[in-house]
Amino acid sequence: MATLLLTLSNLMFLAPIALSVYRCLLVEASVYAYTMFFSTFYHACDQPGEAVLCILNYDTLQYCDFLGSGVAIWVTILCMARLKAALKYVLLLLGTLVFAMSLQLDRRGAWNMMGPCLFAFVVMISMWVYRCGHRRHCYPTSWQRWVFYLLPGISMAAVAIAIYTSMMTSDNYYYTHSIWHMLLAGSAAFLLPPRDKHTEPWSCSQKLTCHYQICKNHREELYTVT
């Protein structure tokens, strides 16, 4: 039962995946799907006895699981910062490369994951403070956003970090790590920013006339692709 819980707890990532697609955050949705897939099959392979399912080499599954978890946190925080698109995607790529390097050095080092995430957190706070000063009021502006989304999401993330860094033992691993999965996915669902006002729900899934595009641009192009 504990083994099944450890594997199926990753299905919680379906919530942030659906929300990301609904809000046209395709990069974030892709990262959450990657994390859910490899975490599920890593834990299906990481079991005692003969009832194991290893679709890839165990070491590869473990690496992909750790990488997905770190990058999922990274993209969520950067998405909350609401950076300009070019800067956002540069940081997403650089952060992923840093995670890939640090996990190769030491996969179980807590700071290998927390260090880059703290940097992303500083970027997010800096952008929020800048917007507060520029707009002369608190950002995000809605109290409903704080009460019903940010505070629950931050609380879940804080508990997840506490579990990951100090509460997991060999005796309680199956349960604490399952809770870590659910809190990580749940906090992402709460913390993802709302869609832009000019973006229609599910707009990325609409059929477009230009086959070079995935999503509609925020402004019309000044040229025609031929």
Q: Delimit the domains of the chain by residue range.
A: 2-194
Q: Give me the pLDDT at residue 23, please.
A: 92
Q: Give me the pLDDT at residue 107, please.
A: 84
Contacts of 3 (CB under 8 A, 6+ apart): 43, 47, 174
- pLDDT-flagged residues of the chain (< 50): 207-212, 218, 220-226
Q: Give me the pLDDT at residue 205, please.
A: 52
Q: Give me the pLDDT at residue 31, please.
A: 98
Query: How would you classify residue 171: left for phi > 0, otherwise alpha for psi between -120 and 50, otherwise beta?
Result: alpha
Q: Give me the pLDDT at residue 220, please.
A: 47
Q: Give me the pLDDT at residue 21, please.
A: 95
Q: Give me the pLDDT at residue 217, please.
A: 52
Contacts of 136 (CB under 8 A, 6+ apart): none
Distance CA 102, CA 59 (A): 16
Instruction: Note the pLDDT tens digit of each residue in 31-40.
Output: 999 999 999 9
Distance CA 95, CA 107 (A): 16
